[in-house]
Every structure is written in structure tokens, then in C-alpha cells.
């Protein structure tokens, strides 16, 4: 073979020089990979040995992609909480560190979707192209980054908005026995956020699948899924998955809050979360405390609820309002978990099974419910009537018990009872029918001006409906002043009462025509004839 033409020589030299350079630059890097071995598998828990450098809450990868969180770090072994189906795991399986903590996909793409805490869609609408991932455990905003609660979060439920007002950034506990309408209050609040520029996150923890399906279908039907994300974990999922769900949902909500949006998150319900955590702790052989819950159960709930707040202007001014739900047993609100949550939150709405049975829905027990910060955020028009209303209502509730015994009542007592019955009739509200603020104020003002007092009880529903319909006739400028903060001026009050008086005129009993003067009857003589 002849020598290569001189023209090829420099090209070949250049190519070889490049290769030589690359070869010289290559230094083989040994990357150590810690591999451990599963020594024991129990319900939702695995013990692993041989991962000496693993960090607390680090994710561990098991065969077939199953993940777990390193929870107990002991000298020889670590206890791992499994995040999914673990039937295939066996002692001797190899595990690997991942070097990261658990995170969740967040972003606008999640709106309208139903996902599990790992971000997998459950609604069959295809993959979710999330913007970024956030760790599920994040520190709560610092004190200096927080602002006072100043804007109301209207629930559309008259009993709540008037008597137990909730502000954006507040945490209000909803508690009551099973089947008392807890979920209904939360879902109604989500429905009422339509057009209010509030993003909602509904986090269903260990609920019956049928109950979750009903809630999501309801949201879908009313067009509320557009601004809502549902994060769902079922009761038969691994307890580890149940445990991380509310944290993951909070991170999803925080993404929107940090963008300056107002966000509402519903945790339905936290007793299931506490039970899952108790199960994990007992399996990990942590010492049980009161009601067999581990000692740090208070901390795990407060850590989560402290993330709900109203951020200061410098941090974008967003807010995260939390409505945690707790199911009580036999109306015992002083059980361990309910008292914990009552002390962590800024108030509670208590639902009474007795009221529920009487058909007084929503079954809110006004006496046992309170809102500790919402009053400051309440619209001025509510404040003008709410004080009297609460007082009149509690007086009525006290007297009502007496009236049941058929005691003969004096006029003042009868009047208090009649007024109270009308307040109760107005506060009754069917499910999924939020009432707008203007309608609420028209009804409340009419109540406080005693306009309903003469209306017969059986006509109350009709009277209220007619007044609410008439509320659309309230002048636009008055409505505008109602929706902005400020005082309810006398003129505005009069304008609203005029509308109310007209609307209720046909429900008032007709003025009785005066009876014709009867001929005087001669009194019978008492004396014996
Ligand atoms: N305001 C209302 N008007 C009429 N029905 C209502 C109202 N609120 C709730 N309900 C009905 O009461 C039942 C129980 O409501 P819901 O499921 O919200 O209660 P819950 O306390 O969340 O129950 P669970 O303990 O099972 O979670 C449902 O059938 C619901 O439709
Ligand atoms: Mg429920």
C-alpha cells in the first residue's frame, strides 16, 4: 500500500491528537454506591441493614422501583416506611440509597386533576407535565414573613360566614361524629370559591372510595375542578403512603401560595392520618403514649398546619387557608387528637349529631364553635349584625329547652324563642347551594331588624327565598360598598331594609280587621237568687 498522500497527513494527526487528549484527560471515577439488604418485612415497614451513611427521611429504593423513607436510624439497622405495594418484598432483597428526600410534582398542570401523593394521576386523563418538584416536608414560613389575616374567605354558608367567619390564612378545624356533614361543609366552601381567584386542594386521607368519588363528582358537576387539585389516598393503601399524603398536598398548595395566590386546603380527615402514623410507630417499636399514639403526634400535625399562613407583601402576599377535618367518637371532643388539633388551629366548627338528627342542617353547634382570628377579616356589614345574632341565638337555645316542658311563658320569653326559631330557619341551608354575600347580608339585616318575626314558621323558607331573590334589586353602589371593607352606613342599611320589607310584605300576616263592637253583655249576677 502506498503512503497516504501528504494532504491526509495533517487531518489524521489532528484526529489522533484529539483522541490522545481525550484519553489523557479521562480519569476513571469510582462512584461508591451504598447497597443494603432487607432483613425483615412487616405491614408497611421494612428493616434494612448495611446503609451506614443514610440520612433521616432519605428515600430508599427497593427492587422494582418501590420507594421507602428511612424513619428509624439505629446503629445496625434502619426502619423504613414503605410507600406502596410491598407484597413482592422479601428478606435478602438489595436496596439502594437515592440521596434525596421525598418530593412531589407541583404546578398549574395539576389543576383539575386527581392524583396520589406520589403525583401519579388517578383520573385516567393521562400523564401530568409538572413544572417542578418540591420536597413534601418543608419548613413553615418565618414569623417575619407572615402578615395578619385581613381578607375573608367566604364559605357561602350563612351560619359560618356570619357567626364563625374564616379569614384567608386561617386554620379552622371542622370536627364532629361520623356522618354529620363535615365533608359537606368543606366541599361547599370549595364550590363557593368559584370566580374568587382561590385555588383549592382537596386532600382525602383514608376515606371510603365511594365518598371520595362522590365529592370529586360533585366538584366536577359544579365546575369547581377547574381550580381544584384532589390528592387522594385510600384506606387500603400502605400506611406510609397515608402518612405522607397531607404533606404532599401541602407542598402542592404552597407552590400556588408562593406565587402570590390565595389557596384553600382541606384535609379530610386527620384522624386517619394520625391512625396511620400510630400504626407505623408501633410497628417501628416506638414507645406508645396516650391512646397508644406516639408522643410526637402533636408535632407532626402542628408542623403541617404551621405551613398555612398569610404571607407578607415581600413574599408575594399569597395565603394558605387550612380546613382540617377530624372525626370524633361519641361526641368526645376532649379525646387526644381532637384536643391537640383544637389547640393547634385558630378555631373550630363543631357539628352536632343531635342537630343533624333534628334536620337542622348544616348541623353546626354555634355554642361550641369559634373562630379566633376570622372576626378581624369579616366584612363590616356582617360585623354590624353578627354580634346581636349570636347573642339572640344562644339565648334562644337556652330557653328552647325550657319551652319543651310546656312551661307557660311570658311575652318576652316567647318573643326570644320566636325570634330564635326564625334565625335557625334562616341559617338552615341545603348542601351544594352556597349563598352569595349580598343575599346573606340582606337576610341577616332583615333578621336583626325583626322583619321575619311575624312571618309564620311554615312560610319561612318561602320568605327567605323571596328575600334572596329580591336582593338582586339592591342598588349597585350599595353592593359595591358591602363588598369593600368599611362601615355599613345608615343609608345603605335603610336601602337594604327597604328591599327586604317589600319582599317580605306578602308573607306578613294580614292586618286583622278590627272586630265590630259587640253589644255589652250584662254581667251575671253572682249573688244567689
Ligand atoms: N346541609 C345539608 N343539607 C342536606 N344534607 C346534608 C347537608 N350536609 C350534609 N348532608 C348529608 O349528610 C350526609 C353526611 O354528610 P357528609 O358525608 O358530609 O358527612 P361526614 O361527616 O363527612 O361523614 P363521614 O364521617 O362519613 O366522613 C350526606 O348524605 C350528605 O348528603
Ligand atoms: Mg366525610
CATH superfamily for 104-378 is: P-loop containing nucleotide triphosphate hydrolases (3.40.50.300)
pLDDT of residue 117: 94
Q: Give the residue whose CA is nearest to atom 30 of ligand 1.
A: 181
Ligand 1 atom with the smallest distance to the CA of 179 is 23
Ordered strands of the 370-371 beta sheet: 114-115, 228-234, 198-207, 262-268, 319-327, 173-176, 347-351, 370-371
- 3-state class (DSSP) for residue 108: helix
Burial of 29 (0-12, 13-18, 19+ CB in 10 A): exposed
User: Does the active-site annotation cover 372?
Assistant: yes
CATH number of 35-101: 2.40.30.20
Cell of 116: 396520589
What is the dihedral sign for C-alpha 252, 257, 261, 262? positive
| Residue whose C-alpha cell reads 364553635 in the numeric block | 369
pLDDT for residue 520: 47
In angstroms, the CA 432 to CA 194 distance is: 12
Ligand 1 mutation pick, 155, 157, 179, 323, max ligand atoms within 8 A of CB: 179
Q: What is the pLDDT of residue 317?
A: 96
Ligand 1 touching residue 177 (CB < 6 A): no
Nearest atom in ligand 1 to 180's CA: 21
Is 35:22 a contact under the CB 8 Å cutoff?
A: no
Q: Decide: 218 in ligand 1 pocket, CB within 6 A.
A: no
Distance CA(485)–CA(40), nearest Å, equals 61
Ligand nearest to the CA of 360: 1
- C-alpha Rg value of the chain to the nearest Å: 32
Give the residue range(s) of CATH 1.20.150.20 domains in the chain.
382-507
Residue of the CA atom closest to atom 23 of ligand 1: 179
How many CA atoms are closer than 13 Å to the CA of 202, on its beta-carbon side?
33
Q: Which residues contact 182 (CB under 8 A, 6 or more apart)?
A: 174, 175, 176, 268, 269, 325, 327, 351
Q: Closest Cα to residue 260, out of 199, 201, 319?
A: 319
CA distances from 261 to 46, 198, 223, 320, 415 (A): 40, 7, 20, 9, 47
* Ligand 2 centroid distance, CA of 100 (Å): 35
* pLDDT at position 409: 79
Residue of the nearest CA to atom 15 in ligand 1?
Answer: 181
382-507: which CATH topology? 1.20.150
Give the ligand at the shortest distance from the Cα of 180: 1
| End-to-end Cα spacing for the chain | 165
Specify the pTM. Answer: 0.89
Q: Is the dihedral of CA 134, 136, 142, 148 positive or negative?
A: positive
Residue 188, ligand 1, Cβ within 6 A: no
Q: How would you classify the pairing of strands 58-61 and 67-73?
A: antiparallel
In the structure, ligand 2 is a single-atom ion and the residues with CB under 5 Å from it are 183
Residue 126: CB within 6 Å of ligand 1? no
Candidates 241, 249, 247, 233; CA nearest to 280 is: 241
Provide the pLDDT for residue 2: 57
Low-confidence residues in the chain, pLDDT < 70: 1-4, 406-407, 485-486, 511-529
Q: Which among 225, 251, 191 has a CA at the least distance from the CA of 435?
A: 191
179 C-alpha to center of ligand 2: Å? Answer: 7
Give the residue range(s) of CATH 3.40.50.300 domains in the chain: 104-378
Instruction: Round to whole Å and give the CA distance between 175 and 369.
Output: 10
Q: Could you tell me if 290 and 273 are in contact, meaning their C-beta atoms sit under 8 angstroms apart? A: no
Q: Which of 61, 303, 372, 383 is catalytic?
A: 372
Residue with cell 320589607: 501
Cell numbers at residue 398, please? Answer: 337556652
Amino acid at each position: 500500500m502506498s503512503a497516504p498522500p501528504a494532504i491526509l497527513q495533517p487531518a489524521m494527526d489532528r484526529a489522533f491528537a484529539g483522541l490522545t487528549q481525550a484519553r489523557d484527560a479521562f480519569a476513571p471515577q469510582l462512584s461508591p454506591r451504598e447497597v443494603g439488604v432487607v432483613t425483615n418485612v412487616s405491614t408497611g415497614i421494612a428493616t434494612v441493614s448495611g446503609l451506614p451513611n443514610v440520612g433521616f427521611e432519605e428515600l430508599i429504593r427497593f427492587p422494582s422501583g418501590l420507594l421507602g423513607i428511612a424513619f428509624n436510624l439505629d446503629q445496625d439497622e434502619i426502619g423504613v416506611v414503605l410507600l406502596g405495594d410491598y407484597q413482592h418484598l422479601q428478606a435478602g432483597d438489595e436496596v439502594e440509597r437515592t440521596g434525596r428526600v421525598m418530593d412531589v410534582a407541583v404546578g398549574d398542570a395539576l389543576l383539575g386533576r386527581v392524583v396520589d401523593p406520589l403525583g401519579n394521576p388517578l383520573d385516567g386523563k393521562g400523564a401530568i407535565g409538572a413544572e417542578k418538584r418540591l420536597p413534601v416536608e418543608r419548613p413553615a414560613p418565618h414569623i417575619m414573613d407572615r402578615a395578619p389575616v385581613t381578607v375573608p374567605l367566604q364559605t357561602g354558608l350563612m351560619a359560618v360566614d356570619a357567626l364563625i367567619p374564616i379569614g384567608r390564612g386561617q386554620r379552622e378545624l371542622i370536627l364532629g361524629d361520623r356522618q354529620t356533614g363535615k365533608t359537606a361543609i368543606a366541599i361547599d366552601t370549595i364550590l363557593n370559591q368559584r370566580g374568587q381567584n382561590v385555588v383549592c386542594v382537596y386532600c382525602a386521607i383514608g376515606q371510603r372510595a365511594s365518598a371520595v368519588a362522590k365529592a370529586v363528582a360533585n366538584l366536577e358537576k359544579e365546575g369547581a375542578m377547574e381550580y381544584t387539585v384532589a390528592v387522594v389516598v385510600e384506606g387500603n393503601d400502605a400506611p406510609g403512603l397515608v402518612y405522607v399524603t397531607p404533606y404532599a398536598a401541602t407542598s402542592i398548595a404552597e407552590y400556588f401560595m408562593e406565587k402570590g395566590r390565595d389557596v384553600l386546603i382541606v384535609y379530610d380527615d386527620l384522624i386517619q392520618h394520625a391512625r396511620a402514623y400510630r400504626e407505623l410507630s408501633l410497628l417501628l417499636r416506638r414507645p406508645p403514649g396516650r391512646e397508644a399514639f406516639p408522643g410526637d403526634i402533636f408535632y407532626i400535625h402542628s408542623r403541617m398546619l404551621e405551613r398555612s399562613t398569610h404571607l407578607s407583601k415581600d413574599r408575594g402576599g399569597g395565603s394558605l387557608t387550612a380546613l382540617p377535618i377530624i372525626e370524633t367518637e361519641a361526641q368526645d371532643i376532649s379525646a387526644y387528637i381532637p384536643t391537640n388539633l383544637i389547640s393547634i388551629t385558630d378555631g373550630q366548627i363543631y357539628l352536632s349529631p343531635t342537630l343533624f338528627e333534628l334536620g337542622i342542617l348544616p348541623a353546626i353547634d354555634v355554642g361550641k364553635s369559634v373562630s379566633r382570628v376570622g372576626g378581624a377579616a369579616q366584612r363590616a356589614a356582617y360585623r354590624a349584625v353578627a354580634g346581636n345574632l349570636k347573642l339572640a341565638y344562644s339565648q334562644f337555645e337556652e330557653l328552647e329547652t325550657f319551652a319543651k316542658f310546656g312551661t307557660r311563658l311570658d311575652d318576652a320569653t316567647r318573643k326570644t324563642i320566636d325570634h330564635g326559631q326564625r334565625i335557625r330557619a334562616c341559617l338552615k341551608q341545603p348542601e351544594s347551594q352556597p349563598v352569595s354575600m349580598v343575599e346573606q347580608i340582606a337576610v341577616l339585616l332583615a333578621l336583626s331588624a325583626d322583619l321575619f318575626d311575624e312571618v309564620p314558621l311554615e312560610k319561612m323558607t318561602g320568605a327567605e327565598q323571596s328575600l334572596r331573590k329580591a336582593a338582586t334589586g339592591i342598588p349597585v353602589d350599595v353592593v359595591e360598598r358591602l363588598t369593600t371593607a368599611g362601615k355599613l352606613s345608615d343609608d345603605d342599611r335603610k336601602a337594604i331594609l327597604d328591599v327586604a320589607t317589600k319582599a317580605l310584605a306578602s308573607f306578613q300576616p294580614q292586618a286583622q280587621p278590627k272586630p265590630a263592637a259587640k253589644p255589652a253583655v250584662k254581667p251575671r249576677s253572682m249573688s244567689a237568687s
